[in-house]
Amino acid sequence: MNLDWTHLHNFIKQQELEKSNLVVGLSGGVDSITLLDLFIQLRQNTSINFTAVHVNHGLNSNAMLWQQQMHKLCEQHDVGLVVEQVNIESKSRTSLESQARDARYQAIAECSQPNSVLFTGHHQSDQMETFLLRLMRGSGLAGLTSMRKISPYPHPLGQEKQVRLARPLLNVSKQTILDYAQTNKLTWVNDDSNEDDRFDRNFVRLSVLPQLFKRWSVAGKSINTATELLQQDFDLLNEYVEQDYLRCLEVGFNQHPVLNIDKLACLSASKQKAVIRMFVYRQLNRYPALATLNELMVQIRQLNTDSNIKLKVADNYLRTHKHHLYLVSDIIKEPRDLSTIELMVSPGQWYVLPENTLYQELKVEIEFDQTLVIKWARFSEMFQPNRNSGHKKLNKYLKEVGCPTWWRAHVPLIYINNQLIAVAGVGVSAQFTHSIHIELR
């Protein structure tokens, strides 16, 4: 195929990205340099504008030189460039690559405008590598869909800003990109770490793909077609599962999404697994391991009034409370007696709360000027949520409002003159119902 700016223009129109903030991820390799040049040609022929971003990981001795080259290149072509530098500890290569990727996406998310689209130079061979690596890791349908032309941003901050990833060269061969770069006399940097076949992706690129192309010249197109078909099947399956997912989905304590286990139990085993996978993915942007999912299914079948479930998923836990399945972050990072902590606060100001508590920040608005004290885990305190209820112990009140046991010690308690006047995010004492307002984040 002949590659030129119209390929990029058609992609942007098909994906309806004309009104978004378009950003080129510029590493300096031939793929991103080619993508940058296509954008420069696009700008010359249309009204579409763009910027670029370069992340200096500091992992290569030439990293600063590459940064300077990218700055000079963008300056020559009047392209706005943002440079982000990240510091990464050198551990094992696998860990290092993961850290670099996470740091890169976080750095780009921090400097991105809302509704931006980050364009990367991923191409057909990259898709082949991803597919084969996931196949070797035993991925299911979701993993084998590999990379999409448009996908959500792989970092929470980017998702909050509604940033997306775009891969317009995903069906373009590596040779086509090299031909374009050489024909247009482009210059790029070469990362020598890409030649070390001790690492899986490099091994696939250097040893496996040449053999595939030698045997099947259309291997790239075939795998690309397979991933597109898998993506269609996966999307169709999700539409099917969504109906059951929404029937099982409810709102738990503190507006937390939960799955109703009784409703879940009415589904077939396959549907139960699919619903749980969707539940986890929509909160973590990743799927639970098969072993975790299978263990959860066993424990759900054995669940009774005297038992609870707690299974780790990344830095989170799948937990049960009153026949509802929660996915909660591991807020208990280290053993800590929160009952010994007291925080003096003034009305109208945001305060950062201690680690291991349910919220990160808190602000209290109150009608009179009075110093407030924030405490935790005072379960024997008496609290009157409304004038007709009478006073009751805090632990009983938290149980009545459906607060799971694992969160009760982490809920901020607000005091005035040693009187409990509010349970943050839960309720306010009858005496102060109309005179206090609490914000949490």
Separation of alpha carbons 84 and 57, rounded Å: 9
Q: Model's pTM, two decimal places?
A: 0.84
Q: Is the pLDDT of residue 213 over 60?
A: yes
pLDDT digit string, tens, across residues 182-194 = 999 999 998 887 8
Q: Is the pLDDT of residue 369 over 80?
A: no
What is the rounded average pLDDT of the residues 112-138? Answer: 96
Partnered with residue 415 across adjacent β-strands are 373, 420
Residue pair 105/90 in contact by the 8 Å Cβ criterion: no
Separation of alpha carbons 373 and 363, rounded Å: 12
What is the rounded average pLDDT of the residues 153-181? Answer: 94
pLDDT of 198 reads 83
Q: Flag whether 207 is marked binding.
A: no
pLDDT of 61 reads 83
pLDDT of 336 reads 65
Q: Is the pLDDT of residue 93 over 60?
A: no
Percent of the chain at pLDDT above 70?
97
pLDDT of 431 reads 86
pLDDT band at 44 (very low <50, low <70, confident <90, very high): very high
Q: Flag whether 143 is marked binding.
A: no
Separation of alpha carbons 428 and 365, rounded Å: 13
CA-closest candidate to residue 268, choices 236, 240, 231, 234: 240
Domains and CATH numbers, the chain: 5-215 (3.40.50.620), 231-329 (1.20.59.20), 338-440 (no CATH)
pLDDT of 290 reads 92
Task: Write down the mean pLDDT value for the chain.
Answer: 91
pLDDT of 335 reads 53
pLDDT digit string, tens, across residues 314-340 = 889 999 998 999 999 876 555 567 888
* More confident site: 431 or 167: 167
pLDDT digit string, tens, across residues 265-313 = 999 999 999 999 999 999 988 899 999 999 999 999 998 877 889 999 9
* More confident site: 154 or 356: 154
Count of CA atoms in the C-beta half-sphere (13 A) of 89: 2
Helix axis angle for 219-248 and 269-284, nearest 10°, is: 100
What b/e string do you get for 97-127 counting C-beta neighbours within 10 Å, with b at 16 or more?
Answer: bebbeebbbbbbbeebeeebbbbbbbbbbbb
Q: Flag whether 32 is marked binding.
A: yes
Q: Is the pLDDT of residue 94 over 70?
A: no
pLDDT of 193 reads 79
H-state helical runs in 217-340: 219-248, 261-264, 269-284, 290-301
Q: Flag whether 313 is marked binding.
A: no
Q: Which residues contact 125 (CB under 8 A, 6 or more apart)?
A: 173, 174, 205, 209, 220
Separation of alpha carbons 426 and 359, rounded Å: 13
pLDDT of 324 reads 95
